[in-house]
Structures are given as structure tokens and as C-alpha cells.
Amino acid sequence: MQALWTKEEAEFHGQYYDFPLVRSFPKPTQQPHPPIFFGDLTGSAVFRRIVAWGNGWLPFGISPAQVKRGREALHHLATEAGRDPRTIQIRVLGVPPDAETLKAYEQAGADAVACLMLPAPEKEALAQLEQIAQKVFP
């Protein structure tokens, strides 16, 4: 994807994917390309991929303790690879919306979280957002 986003023409011939010389337009407005996040629970293989090719980790529904272990593993792998660990973000999806919980994720090393919302019609969704705001910003 990075080659398609940053070069006029790109091709790839690998073990699992193979595509001939192609052009991809329009190019993303983000430069040099959009951030690449890997979403997996806590496997070391995904952390190695993040350090080699990604901008961050995007897990769903994990605890602050798991975030802390992930942050430590990413820090270690990035340092080993000569990469600044501060360039790797952790954004957690599916976090319960309350101020104490959000603080726990921040202290564990999460850069951002997305709180859970239930599917609802627009009017009910707005009420949910108001409830979340009251819990998060008391």
C-alpha cells in the first residue's frame, strides 16, 4: 500500500500477493501516506510488523494491563530495531466510557481510545453521546 500511495506506478511479487505494474489514483492527501495501524490482540508477530511497517496498534476490547504489556513490548522491539518508540501509537477501540477507565488506559500507554456506543437511531445516539460526555467529563 505504501508503494501504491507514494509512487506513480508500483508492483509487488511476494509469497502471498502478486500484482503487476499498476497505477493508483487519486493519491491520499496525507503525506507521505495515511497511517497504517495493525489490529490484533497481543501477538509478538503483529508487534514486529508494526515496528517494521506500521504507525501503530489498534486493538479492540483489551484491558489497561494488556495495553501496558503491549506498550512495553513495542518499546523493546522498536529500540532493538533502531526506531524511536514514541513514533508508535496505541489506539484502543471498545473502551467503556467513564473517566477512571480512560485514565487507566492513558496511564497504561494508550495514546487514544474510542468508547463503545450501542447502535441506535440518531435521536438515541445523541442521548448516548451526552451520557458518555457526562461520565467522561464530570
pLDDT of 31 reads 85
Distance CA 112, CA 106 (A): 8
Instruction: Using the predicted structure, report yes or no on whether residue 120 has a pLDDT greater than 80.
Output: no
Reported as a pLDDT band with limits 50, 70 and 90, residue 21 is very high
Q: Mean pLDDT, to the nearest integer, of 73-80?
A: 96
Q: What is the DSSP letter of 81?
A: T
Residue 116, helix vs strand vs coil: coil
pLDDT of 4 reads 86
Instruction: Using the predicted structure, report yes or no on whether residue 88 has a pLDDT greater than 80.
Output: yes
State the fold for domain 35-136: TIM Barrel (3.20.20)
Reported as a pLDDT band with limits 50, 70 and 90, residue 55 is very high
Q: What angle do CA 14, 22, 27 make, to 5 degrees?
A: 110
Instruction: Using the predicted structure, report yes or no on whether residue 42 has a pLDDT greater than 70.
Output: no
% residues pLDDT > 90 (the chain): 51
Reported as a pLDDT band with limits 50, 70 and 90, residue 135 is confident
Distance CA 89, CA 11 (A): 29
- Note whether 132 and 116 are within 8 A (CB): no
Domain borders along the chain are: 1-34, 35-136
